[in-house]
Amino acid sequence: MASGILRMVGSVFVTSLTGPKEILKLTRSRIYSKPPRNRIGAGQSFFVMSVFAAAMLVPAAWILHHLPEYRRRSRQTPKA
């Protein structure tokens, strides 16, 4: 019984030591050192960053703009 437990703990310990090396090998195999095939211009970069910023900020602006309306709704409790 004790030998089985020691075997199980030993295998977990060994895999936890060798696991990061295997992950590092997989990560290194996905890194490319060649220049990009298609260059991205400044206009395209600006457009993409603008769309991303709008996608992040518009919902927050909507909530902040309608905050007084949400506060009025929360004060009106429904009578049951």
Q: How confident is the model at residue 15 (pLDDT cuts 50, 70, 90)?
A: low
The C-alpha atoms of residue 17 and residue 14 are separated, in whole angstroms, by 5
37: which DSSP letter? S
Report percent pLDDT > 70 for the chain: 55
Buried b (16+ CB within 10 A) or exposed e, 7-28: eeeeeeeeeeeeeeeeeeeeee
Query: Long-range contacts made by residues 66-73, C-beta under 8 angstroms, separation at least 24?
Result: none
So where are the chain's domains?
1-31, 41-80
Band of the pLDDT at 36, cuts 50, 70, 90? confident
pLDDT digits (tens, 9 = 90+) for 63-72: 999 999 988 9
The pTM is what?
A: 0.46
